Chains A and B, each alone.
Chain A
């Protein structure tokens, strides 16, 4: 009989090391490919710090992080909220924070979850591979922090804070959805920054040149629209074209944009990422238990916290707060394995290409090539929908009542799946707003278009955001909500209002 890895609830560095080694060996046996791990033991105060910095190990100073910290501290100290057991950073090496308050069992769970689950997801998933550069993110954050504190020294904290506020308001509109950014190191970044500042300023001035050029009008005598195509990356557009910004402000916009881009894949893969990590901590720890390396006591403690994490509360529960991404993801990952190993007739019908295949390959394929939306569309099985008792409702403001549009039955499965996938499409979740035109010859006003989806209007803070946009652009800003080519509502931020 093998000796268990540990029997006490107190952790030590030796136990953590042994446990990490056992889990790492097993993970490689299962074919998980990971970045090297850097496991850092921290105290609960440090965990609150890490929380406040929204998961960035190094962050520039901003009051909003202080606000986050105060509210975390307040809820934690009053016992309203537990802290996460871990935070894991998508970097190479992959940094995982473990809290010293955790028991040894929790540390083992967290290592399996973060250091082998999340880590392999970061390394394998196509979105992370395309959009984030794990090797250079830490360097870049250091560059950003230093740059911003240099700006604060030079131009004053308030100036910098104002610019950052405005950028944060537009952060979700600072990502490229299609273009592949190209990674450079922090050193290059710093070298280029100076060149860029100078070059940019020249370009911007060129756009606003007042001497007429002959090719401004086309054959029909109409002015060419600028920008020629609508732009979805509003922050990028401002960085390159806003007429009145100082070079350092353009660089600040760029920093916020880069960080938004870094987090963009995480926002699109929450269900998969958590599901994958939960699946692997469950699988790895159970396997270690089967091999006699973990005790019964550990399994009880582990299953207790595992179950509370992957529980889905029903919609009418007082604590219901939406679909739990851990529950959905874990159930789907488990179901993929089940379909591969023990397919039913229904599974053969729905997933003929997976039934009876090697489950490790099927899961790797799913992890690598999908994001939440497409993952659900492809892999949500009737069994999971039945288990979670999913149903969809349509709430239309032109109708008196809410209609149940599909439930977990034969005729509803496919529609249910499509609806749920749509719910995870960031394009549907966030209003679609693009830079439409600039009145180059006139009052230099900026016009944006909001293309409405299902007639949904913009929320109440839109006017506030326009003020921030106005601050960066420097001239009047107009925003039109457009449905089927028709302007439904307009928002304006004119000079003197901001």
Chain B
């Protein structure tokens, strides 16, 4: 804390009561209210969670994870005090009389005339019955995923040499020219020069002192000549010492550290056949985004693979996944096969936490469902941490759902299926899929 005092000169009578202190408190902590704020958020976490879940359903997909304005009903958080209600005889003094004279009678305004100015309409579009405040993105996500967890979460340590971080490890005598450490190299050159020329400089100093002591008149003849030759020889020898030699060079040394890291890959599988309309795709997309955000919180690195399919499956980028249109029949197993081959090629289950999420309206080519069950049970589910299937349809379930129900019976830990009818179901269904299971 920076404190700045000043004391006015003492008055002659010694009284010092007029002293003002000026203190700079700006460097003090500014989060004095943090505790109280947290207490408020905790006390009303149920209301806030509800507000957050409403927001999740309303928001557009791009800002689904932003923090922002939360409104909860003011009556839930009011602090009651005893006050007068309306009624009885109220006398009030008002300013700004323009036209009234004593004894005038005024029509009672519509509504509650005796309250403090009546009820006020708000111009910001929110009722006065709401208490609004902002929370940060982190808090928003905390509330959004409060009480959820990834099932079967395994933190896999990387073994082997796949991922490295370069760290400094001192200096080396060898290296590439790009890594020369100039300060160290020059320091070492300097040391070498001092060491190599030490004897010669001592001799030189002695000779120079001898020369100095020689009277001006004696500076001629063979003794003087010999002295001068010797001095010049020494000077030349000293200056001939290399200023920088190859073995002076020092290099920064970096070594590789393997980083243990848990990684997750999420496969998003979506049916884009003719029966999936834009609304259904939007619902699927919201679901995928929730899942993506959720995975990001749990893993340092999350990759997403988008696979869309009609009768044939294709790996696509995000934009194409959500936006391009296709028509045609539906063969779900094509997507599952593609997922299986991608896992084999790129995401070894030993390294990656693999999650699958599949969205469809339930249509499938009648004979294909058995194939799907086979791929699921024998190839995908053994490799996956968790696989969720959501069916977005207002209609009766078809063969795919029934087949999957049988799969679930065998893999109840790693597989679940949920039914979504409208956008409002997404978040509840999502919570249902990932709620903490009491173990």
Binding site for B on A (CB under 8 A): 13, 16-17, 20-21, 24, 28, 36-43, 45-46, 48-49, 52-53, 61-67, 69-71, 73-74, 77, 80, 93, 97, 100, 115, 157, 161, 165, 168-173, 312-317, 320-323, 388-398, 400-409, 411-412, 416, 419-420, 422-423, 429-431, 433, 452-462, 464-465, 468
Q: Is the CB of A431 within 8 A of B20?
A: no
Contact for A394 among B77, B91, B132, CB less than 8 A: B91
Known: A46-B26, A67-B131. A405 touches B4 (CB 8 A): no
Question: B36 to A13, Cβ gap below 8 A?
Answer: no
Q: Please judge, given known A-B contacts A395-B90, A397-B114, A456-B90, whether A93 and B32 are in contact too, CB under 8 Å.
A: no
Q: Are A40 and B82 in contact (CB under 8 A)?
A: no
Given contacts A168-B79, A412-B102, A464-B80, 8 further A-B contacts (CB under 8 A): A41-B23, A74-B132, A316-B96, A392-B94, A422-B91, A456-B87, A457-B86, A458-B83
**Cross-chain contact A395 with B113 (CB below 8 angstroms):** yes
Total interface residues on B, CB under 8 Å, equals: 68
Are A38 and B95 in contact, with the CB atoms below 8 A? no
B8 an interface residue at 8 Å Cβ cutoff? yes
A314–B41 touching, CB < 8 Å: no
Query: CB distance B22 to A16 under 8 Å?
Result: yes
Q: Which chain B residue has the least Cβ–Cβ distance from A393?
A: B92
Give the residues in chain A near B22, CB-CB below 8 Å. Answer: 13, 16-17, 20, 39-41
B278 to chain A, nearest CB (A): 35
Contact B20 A37 (CB under 8 A): yes
C-alpha spacing A54/B96, complex, angstroms: 32
What chain A residues lie within 8 Å of B133 (beta carbons)?
A: 70-71, 73-74
Assembly CA distance A408 to B97 (angstroms): 9
Tell me the B residues contacting A by CB distance below 8 Å: 4, 6, 8, 17-26, 28, 30-33, 35-43, 69, 77-98, 100-108, 113-114, 116-117, 124, 131-134
Residues of A within 8 A of B79 (CB): 64, 165, 168-169
A409-B102 contact, Cβ under 8 Å, with A28-B18, A43-B30, A389-B95: yes
Contacts of B41 in A (CB 8 A): 66
Q: Select B132's contact among A16, A69, A71, A321, beta carbons within 8 Å.
A: A71
* 21 A-B interface contacts by CB (under 8 A): A20-B22, A28-B18, A40-B23, A40-B24, A41-B25, A43-B30, A52-B33, A69-B33, A93-B21, A313-B96, A314-B98, A323-B95, A398-B89, A401-B105, A401-B107, A402-B105, A404-B106, A423-B91, A429-B84, A454-B88, A458-B85
Chain B neighbourhood of A52, CB < 8 A: 33, 36
Known: A66-B36, A459-B82. A312 touches B88 (CB 8 A): no
Contact, CB under 8 Å: A404 / B100 = yes
Measured in the bound complex, the distance between the Cα atoms of B117 and A395 in whole Å is 13
For the complex of A and B, list the 8 residue pairs with the smallest distance between their C-beta atoms, beginning with the closest: A314-B96, A66-B40, A66-B36, A456-B88, A464-B80, A70-B133, A455-B88, A461-B80
Decide if A36 touches B17 in the complex (CB within 8 Å): yes
A123, chain B: closest CB distance, angstroms? 11
With A38-B21, A41-B24, A172-B82 in contact, do A70 and B37 touch (Cβ < 8 Å)?
yes
Q: A interface, by DSSP: helix, strand, loop or mixed?
A: mixed
**Do A431 and B82 touch (CB < 8 A)?**
yes
Task: Establish whether residues A39 and B20, one from each chain, have CB atoms under 8 Å apart when the complex forms.
Answer: yes
* Most chain B beta-carbon contacts within 10 A, residue among A17, A65, A391, A419: A391
From A70, A315, A397, A431, B40 is in contact (CB under 8 Å) with A70
Contact B36 A62, beta carbon cutoff 8 Å: yes
* Distance between Cα atoms of A336 and B411 in the complex (Å): 88
Whether the Cβ atoms of A49 and B88 lie closer than 8 Å is: no
User: Closest CB of chain B to A53's CB: distance in Å?
Assistant: 7
Give Cα distance in the complex from A170 to B31, angstroms. 29
Chain B residues near A405 (CB, 8 Å)? 91, 102
Task: Tell me whether A401 and B131 are in contact (CB under 8 A).
Answer: no
When distances are taken between beta carbons in the complex, the residues of chain A under 8 Å from B32 are 46, 49, 53
Are A320 and B117 interface neighbours, CB within 8 A? yes
Q: Taking each of B23, B28, B39, B81, which has the highest tally of chain A beta carbons within 10 Å of its own beta carbon?
A: B81
Chain A residues with CB under 8 A of B89? 394-398, 454-456
Contacts of A323 in B (CB 8 A): 93-95
Given contacts A66-B39, A71-B133, contact A459 B20 (CB under 8 A): no
Q: Which chain A positions have C-beta within 8 A of B102?
A: 404-407, 409, 411-412
- A73-B134, A322-B116, A396-B89 are contacts. A24–B18 as well, Cβ < 8 Å? yes
Closest chain-A Cβ to B82's Cβ sits at a distance in Å of 5
Contact between B95 and A390 (Cβ–Cβ < 8 Å)?
yes
Chain B neighbourhood of A401, CB < 8 A: 105-108
Query: By the criterion CB–CB under 8 Å, are A454 and B90 in contact?
Result: yes
Bound-complex Cα distance A409 to B124 (A): 41
Contact yes or no, A404 B104, CB < 8 A: yes
| A321-B117 CB under 8 A given contacts A24-B20, A38-B23 | yes
Interchain CA distance A455-B85 in the complex, whole Å: 10
Docked pose: A41 CA to B30 CA in angstroms: 12
Interface centre among B28, B43, B98 (most CB of A within 10 A): B43
Assess whether A452 is in contact with B38, with CB atoms less than 8 Å apart.
no
Q: A150 → chain B, closest Cβ, in Å?
A: 15
Q: How far is the CA of A82 from the CA of B288 in the complex (A)?
A: 42
CB distance from B225 to the nearest CB of A (A): 74
In whole angstroms, how far apart are the Cα atoms of A392 and B100 in the complex? Answer: 10
Tell me, rounded to whole Å, the shortest Cβ–Cβ distance linking B274 to chain A: 47
A471 to chain B, nearest CB (A): 12
Contact B101 A404 (CB under 8 A): yes
Q: Which residues of A contact B82 (CB under 8 A)?
A: 170, 172-173, 430-431, 433, 458-459, 461-462, 465
Given the known interface contacts A39-B23, A402-B105, the answer about A395 and B36 at a Cβ–Cβ threshold of 8 Å is no
How far is A315 from B38 in the complex, measured between Cα atoms in Å? 40
Given contacts A38-B21, A46-B25, A314-B98, contact A461 B78 (CB under 8 A): yes
How far does the alpha carbon of A321 sit from the alpha carbon of B105 in the complex, in Å?
23
Interface centre among B30, B82, B107, B116, by most A CB within 10 Å? B82
Instruction: Specify which of A397, A400, A429 is in contact with B87 (CB 8 Å cutoff).
Output: A397
Q: How far is the CB of B89 from chain A (nearest CB, A)?
A: 4
Decide yes or no: A389 and B98 within 8 Å by CB, A74-B134, A397-B89, A422-B91 being known contacts.
yes
Q: Which residues of B contact A408 (CB under 8 A)?
A: 97
Task: Output the least CB separation between B126 and chain A (Å).
Answer: 11
Cβ-closest chain A residue relative to B100 = A404
Contact indicator A389/B105 (Cβ below 8 Å): no
Q: Compute how far the CA of A71 lies from the CA of B102 in the bound complex, rounded to whole angstroms.
A: 42
Residues in B neighbouring A453, C-beta threshold 8 A: 88
CA distance A61 to B38 in the complex (A): 10
Contact B96 A13 (CB under 8 A): no
- Please name the residue on chain B nearest to A97 by beta carbon: B25
